[in-house]
Structure 1
Amino acid sequence: MSDAVFLVVMGVSGTGKSTLGAALSKALRLPFIDGDDLHPQSNVDKMSRGEPLTDTDRQPWLETIRRTAVSSVLSQLGNGHKSHADPNAMPETETTLDKSSMLGRNEQLSSSMRDKDQKPGIVIACSALKGSYRSVLRGETLSEAEASKHSRKLPTCFVYMKGSRETLMNRMMKRQGHFMKAAMLDSQLKTLESPENEDGVVTVSIEWSTEDQVQEVVRALKDGEGRQHVASKH
């Protein structure tokens, strides 16, 4: 799995993570999942009430995202990610089976577009605001029982969508039907720990067009294999 990539599109709400994630999925011919779809219902209910999630709330969500990424790549490699011997396989609850079906459809679509030498991988949108959250997404904090050799070998690259509070607030005030309240933006910005000094990070401005954002990420992955810090262009 060292040639695979787990691409996390990150940033506070309103940056356009889902839009960029879908565009990267098309450009890179990889499956895409919005991390919000992997939240347990209890988290969605809290956010709908305008209550910020605690780190305790987020921990199982972040672990699920990591397991989903690993399972997807193993599936693309033909390693049977649903095997009971695979400690990174998602628990077979009704909810996760629905997510697996959704992921399976994405994988079938992306597989049909891949060349023989196309590297496996997955794109997932996730806020990933704290360094500790990103450690979970990298697979660095999994228990020994879960930290299989497969999980450890899946490189993780973060695409940090950066923007001003004013631009973000304007965007959020215009959004309809999203569970994240605009009033929670300041809380997210306060929580945000910039990843710009970390390895494996590509920074893009939310002021850029989606096409420019995609081009920057593709360039960074090509030049640095997604494993080295890439400074944002100005």
Structure 2
Amino acid sequence: MSATVRIVVMGPSGSGKSTVGAFLAQALGARFIDGDDLHPDANVRKMAAGIALDDGDRYPWLRLVGETLRGEDRIVVACSALRRAYRDLIREEAPDAFFAELTIARAVLEERMRLRTDHFMPAALLNSQLEALESLDADEGGVRIDESADVRTASSAIAAAVQSERGTAPRGQSLR
């Protein structure tokens, strides 16, 4: 793989996107951005009130996620990217984006969301997230990772998948 690394760690709220994404970025010597930080205030207020976003809310945000990816040579972004159409919007801006989908049991997601106190996304919106989820298709650049593995193992698996798809190892620290 060239020196360019653009990875989206995706999945529903509570799947560990931010934790895995931050660890992966540090290990690869890349910038980490939590896609939640790119949401406009109106989206955050809507979700905090327990109202699911609609596509009109999401599309400008997803384009910004793609623009953010495109603007960096070495970047990992945590972003739900739940539907194929959402990933396609990101790819319109950053065609070489690699998607790492974290898969995790519903009961674990519910428990994680119930326990966290520092996030605007209420557990009540988990159903809407799971209903929207369309797993990566075989023709999409990416990998599905069982997030029940520890952060290091999940990050190593993502780095290995990027290496396999792109042909050479990402620059940065070894994840082993």
Map 1:81-120 onto structure 2 (within 5 A).
none
CA distance in 2, matches of 1:169, 1:189: 11
Number of equivalent positions: 166
Instruction: Give the alignment partner of residue 212 of structure 1, picking from 144, 148, 153.
Output: 153
- Percent identity among equivalent residues? 43
Q: Does 1:199 align with 2:140?
A: yes
Confirm or deny: 8 A CA contact 1:20 1:214 kept in the other structure: yes
Runs of 4+ aligned residues of structure 1 deviating over 4 Å after TM superposition are none
SS of the equivalent of 1:127 reads: coil
Q: CA deviation at 1:196?
A: 4.3
The one of 54, 77, 88 aligned to 1:124 = 77
Trace 1:56-205 onto structure 2 (pairs within 5 A): 56-73=56-73, 121-139=74-92, 154-205=95-146
TM, length-normalised to structure 1: 0.68
Q: Distance in 2 between matches of 1:199 and 1:71?
A: 21
Residues 114-135 of structure 1: CA deviation (Å, up to 9, x unaligned) = xxxxxxx210000000000000
Contact residue 196 and residue 203 of structure 1 kept, 8 A = no
TM-score (norm 2): 0.89
Cα distance per residue 1:70-116 (max 9 Å; x no partner)? 1223xxxxxxxxxxxxxxxxxxxxxxxxxxxxxxxxxxxxxxxxxxx
Larger radius of gyration: 1
User: In 2, Cα distance between the equivalents of 1:124 and 1:43?
Assistant: 18
Partner of 1:118: none
Aligned AA (2:109): L
Q: Which runs of 5+ in 1 are unaligned?
A: 74-120, 143-150, 227-234
Distance across 2 between alignment mates of 1:158 and 1:28: 16
Q: Residue 55 of structure 1 aligns with which residue?
A: 55
**Structure 1 residue 35 displacement after superposition:** 0.3
Aligned-residue RMSD, C-alpha: 1.5
CA distance in structure 2 between the aligned counterparts of 1:198 and 1:185, rounded to whole angstroms: 27
Q: CA deviation at 1:167?
A: 1.0
- Tell me, yes or no, if the aligned pair for 1:4 and 1:155 is still in contact at 8 Å: no
User: What's the CA shift for 1:69?
Assistant: 1.4
User: Which ranges of structure 2 fall in alignment gaps of 5 or more residues?
Assistant: 168-176
